[in-house]
Amino acid sequence: MKSKRILLLVLLIAAGAGGYWWFYLRNSANGPLILQGNVEVRQVNLGFKVAGRIEKLFVDEGDAVVPGQKLASLEKVYFTDALAQVRAQLEQAAANYDKLRNGSRPEEIAQARAVVAEREAALTNARVIQQRAKALIKSPAGSQKSLDDTQAAERQADALLNSARQALRLAEAGFRKEDIALGKGQLDERKVAVEVAGRNLADADLIAPSKGIVLSRVREVGAIVGAGETVYVLSLTTPVWVRTYVSEPDLGRIRPGQEVQIKTDTPGGKTLTGKIGFISTTAEFTPKTVETTELRTSLVYRLRIVVNDSTGFLRQGMPVTVITEPPAKKGTPIASGS
């Protein structure tokens, strides 16, 4: 009987100590705030921006990569040929535009003037012949047919002279503004085509966008892939984000930029430091990954913790415990959030 009383007393003391810890230490406004969360899973599917056949794969599953590192490449012969083709078309468009902008050459203008002089001489000769025919028509040696022929020849020579003079004016004036604008547009179009072909050639290399670990290699050398088709799955390692949730009554105990401690369930695991980087402005029901029986219908706010994990200790999806520092005492300045 005495042993039962002692056991009951011990249980009461333990329950009291537990209640004291829960209500006065864990949830006290003067004590630390303890939250449960997980390291966010941050992955990105990497693929080429252009279609083609994979020629080389430079990394494999488990390899660490850094920003700007080449991960894979496609066969580039089609891209280099396309670039050479549009560059040749660019040269043609540039030559045509220069021709339109510079107008006729001096030699062409001189040639047009020579044609005008030639036609003027031909017209003068036609008129002389016509005057002779008019004089002969009064004598038996002349005929009406000869006169008609000389008049037709004179009109033809006059028309040819007018045509030569118009050609000289066109040569001196150069090309129309509309033709020059058209040539300029064709040149600009070819320039853009060269830039597009150059980007396609550059996009034949798959480049790592950020630091991370290759989780899986989806395609193999020789495979024909379309634009955007996944070749690698990359796990982003920096920055490390922890997702957790805080109830509405505890919102006043946290702020952006506030330092927190991150602990894992790993035996002997070290404690990491982080900062609150984001506090959601919208309430939501407690996620099933962190809910308890009492919190199933509670509204909480999502937090994002940015963790300083230079050694790569944390793994994506790992459960962690977030412990906030006690709020500053009255009169103590609080640093602004980042």
DSSP alpha helices (H): ranges in the chain?
Answer: 2-20, 77-102, 106-136, 144-173, 177-202
- The predicted model gives 190-212 an average pLDDT of 95
pLDDT of 141: 67
Of 6-20, 61-75, 192-206, 277-291, which gets the smallest average pLDDT? 6-20
Residue position matching structure tokens 């020789």: 222
Q: Is the pTM of this model over 0.85?
A: no
Distances (CA, A) of 39 to 19, 288, 307: 30, 15, 9
Two tokens, residue 94: 């540039």
pLDDT of 115: 87
Q: Measured between alpha carbons, how far is 60 from 43 in angstroms, rounded to an integer?
A: 16
- The predicted model gives 295-314 an average pLDDT of 78
Of 51-55, 255-259, 279-283, which gets the smallest average pLDDT? 279-283
Residue 174 has phi, psi (to 5 degrees) of 85, -165
pLDDT of 111: 84
Q: How confident is the model at residue 105 (pLDDT cuts 50, 70, 90)?
A: confident
How is 236-296 classified by DSSP, letter by letter?
E-SSEEEEEEEEGGGGGG--TT-EEEEEESSTTPPPEEEEEEEE-SS-EEPPTTT--GGGT
Two tokens, residue 324: 């906030």
Most confident of 141-150, 193-202, 287-296: 193-202
CATH homologous superfamily, domain 29-42+237-324: Efflux pump adaptor protein, beta barrel domain (2.40.30.170)
Query: Class of the 44-74+201-235 domain?
Result: mainly beta
In this predicted structure, the answer to whether residue 20 has a pLDDT above a threshold of 60 is no
Q: How confident is the model at residue 55 (pLDDT cuts 50, 70, 90)?
A: very high
188-197 in b/e form (b: 16+ CB < 10 A) is eebeebbeeb
pLDDT tens for 313-325 read: 888 888 889 998 7
**217 beta partners:** 232
Please name the amino acid found at residue 135: A
**34 beta partners:** 323
CA geometry: angle at 38 spanning 35 and 40, to 5°? 135
pLDDT of 49: 95
pLDDT of 334: 37
Please name the amino acid found at residue 217: R
Q: How confident is the model at residue 204 (pLDDT cuts 50, 70, 90)?
A: very high
Domain extents for the chain? Answer: 29-42+237-324, 44-74+201-235, 82-198
Q: Measured between alpha carbons, how far is 41 from 319 in angstroms, rounded to an integer?
A: 11
